[in-house]
Structure 1
Amino acid sequence: MSTVDKVPAAEFETLLKSENLLVVDFTATWCGPCRVVAPLMEQLSQEFQDSIKVIKIDVDKDKPLAKKYEVKTIPAVLYFKNGELVETIKGVSPYQEFANAVKAHI
């Protein structure tokens, strides 16, 4: 069962107000590298399930949101704390890089 939800822009705005760290994976169905990052996001969500929320945003369905956060390449994983963007990781990276970013901001 997936622990990472795909959410529309309206729900994203609500989640952004959460006190927990919000990890947002900007992705697209046609993106090969995004498929490499997807299981890493699942692992991240499970490992830090008590302190973070991991979601996916489809850049094709929510172009204004991608534009707002200047997502020009995917995959792009953005970390938000208290509604503020605190870190961005672009492209495919090792799991440990994603995990270290979580540890730095929780």
Structure 2
Amino acid sequence: MPRKSFSELIDSPGMPVLVDFYATWCGPCKTMAPILEQVAAQHGGKLRVIKIDVDKNQAVAQQYRVQSIPTLILFHKGQPVWRQAGVVPAPQIAQALRPFVEQ
């Protein structure tokens, strides 16, 4: 299967895409991992969660002005609609998702 470009990954009609910009050496990023797993599980097939390693994808991180990690960016129809840097609790992520995820 060919590897998809970042724009192909975030351009998901009808399904929001939550992108976690992280690095393997980042402690707070490791704290976010189980929170994002919980959020993904709660939203089943209504949300795509992807992780982007900023060390391996510097151009994408620069394009979206990621200056600290972890940074979460929610994309809806290919456009960024919400972003938050640092460790974010699951309820705050759920609140940001609410307008874009059909319950």
Given the two structures, how large is their TM-score scaled by the length of structure 1? 0.87
The Cα offsets for residues 36-93 of structure 1, whole Å up to 9 and x where unpaired, read as 0011111111110221100000000000000000000000000000011000011012
How far apart in 1 are the matches of 2:50 and 2:88? 17
Q: CA RMSD in A?
A: 1.2
Given the two structures, how large is their TM-score scaled by the length of structure 2? 0.89
Give SS of 1:78's match. strand
Residues 14-33 of structure 1 aligned to structure 2 (within 5 Å): 14-19=8-13, 20-33=15-28
Amino acid at match of 1:83: G
Q: How many pairs does the alignment contain?
A: 98
Shift of 1:95: 1.2
Aligned to 2:52: 57
Shift of 1:12: 2.3
Q: Displaced runs of 4+ in structure 1, greater than 2 A?
A: none
Residues 33-72 of structure 1 aligned to structure 2 (within 5 Å): 33-72=28-67
Q: Tell me, which stretches of 5 or more residues in structure 2 are unaligned? A: none
Q: Tell me, which stretches of 5 or more residues in structure 1 are unaligned? A: 1-7
Give SS of 1:50's match. helix
Shift of 1:14: 1.1
How far apart in 1 are the matches of 2:29 and 2:98? 22
Shift of 1:22: 0.3
